[in-house]
Amino acid sequence: MAERRVSIVGGSGYTGGELLRLLLFHPRVTLVQVTSERFAGKPVYRVHPNLRGVTQARFCSLAELEPCDTLFLCLPHGKSMEQMPRFQRLAGNIIDLSGDFRLATPEAYQKWYGRPHLYPELLGEFVYGIPELYRRNIQQARYVSGAGCNATAVILALYPLFQQQLVYPERTVVEVKGGSSEGGNSPSEASHHPERNGVVRSYKPTGHRHIGEIEQTLGHPVHLSATALGIVRGILATCHVFLKQPLDEKSIWRIYRNAYGSEPFIRMVKERKGIYRLPEPKLLVGSNFCDIGFERDAGGNRLVVISAMDNLMKGAAGQAVQAFNIMHRFPETLGLEFPGLHPV
């Protein structure tokens, strides 16, 4: 298979750094350019010190961007669409990791991002980038929009139940807990160490913008709250659903096994004992896995489904590379085999 020439637009952030780390070791990729307006001309390892001795690549400015096969866009929300016509001229394939093309209608974009979409006619050209749900669409796509990290964790946890209409959607309540890297690398009062360290801060009890993606994919409203934890990486989604009919544990396992049994990056956690009998984000740092488990409430029809992942990997850069592999008919796991570390 021929190698693909790829470039990263906005490579100085945390997601851009993860993409660099993955693509530099991808056997079918030639990295052409990495842009950063702030660090143009400087070696990428100045910003991503974990890449010292790995690459001598330097950041360039957007004005220097040249044609390539695939562009990965890691720009802040609202910035990708501003230059999308230019990006389309430069690359045959685009994977946008921002929220600019995740929602299917301009009305939904206006609702969740608080501004009009500049190119609403392009919304239908981007495939929503969760491979486990939209693999065939991604195979045929020119453009893919990376899914939000919290949205990915919730959708993967709930999709099998919603697809078979086994739960009351209006009663679904989800609590997502995430690490500080979800907020990016731009400092703020909330990320200041004395304010962030050790927190369990409810920062979006209602109205999180990822709700738009979740409801669009699941087809029903979902009640979601988001809490910031004093960790750097990781997402834990705790999803409370109420079953329409009695289902024993074996039946629930069968539902998830039928949905995800052949998926390379979803692991069902089924342990009876120990401190890791349910999904734990700490075990997934640096990996592209999403772990899913559940516990049934013995006293009623409540089922608690729990998913965990690394927000910078399966929630961003890793999932983008997974989509890239699918688009180009490469083995889906190529460049993504790292299993995570223990202990960390």
Respond yes or no: is residue 68 known to be catalytic: no
Q: CA 153 → CA 149, 158, 177, distances in Å?
A: 6, 9, 10
Tell me the C-alpha distance between 4 and 29, whole Å. Answer: 5
Give the active site residue among 60, 68, 149, 290. 149
Amino acid code (one letter) for 52: R
Residue owning tokens 């050209």: 125
Ramachandran region of residue 287, left (φ > 0), alpha (ψ -120 to 50) or beta?
Answer: beta
| Burial classification of residue 49, based on how many CB atoms lie within 10 Å of its CB (0-12 exposed, 13-18 middle, 19 or more buried) | exposed
End-to-end CA separation in angstroms for the chain: 37
Q: How far apart are CA 306 and CA 42, in angstroms?
A: 42
Beta strands in 165-282 (DSSP E): 173-178, 200-204, 223-229, 235-242, 266-268
DSSP 240: E
DSSP state of 59: E
DSSP string computed for 261-326 = TT-TTEEE---SSSTTSS--GGGGTT---EEEEEEE-TTSSEEEEEEEE-TTIIIIIHHHHHHHHH
Q: What DSSP designation does 57 have? A: -
* 275-292 burial: b if 16+ Cβ within 10 Å, else e: eeebbbbbbbbbbbbbbb
Distance CA 256, CA 248 (A): 13
- Indicate which residues carry an active-site annotation: 149
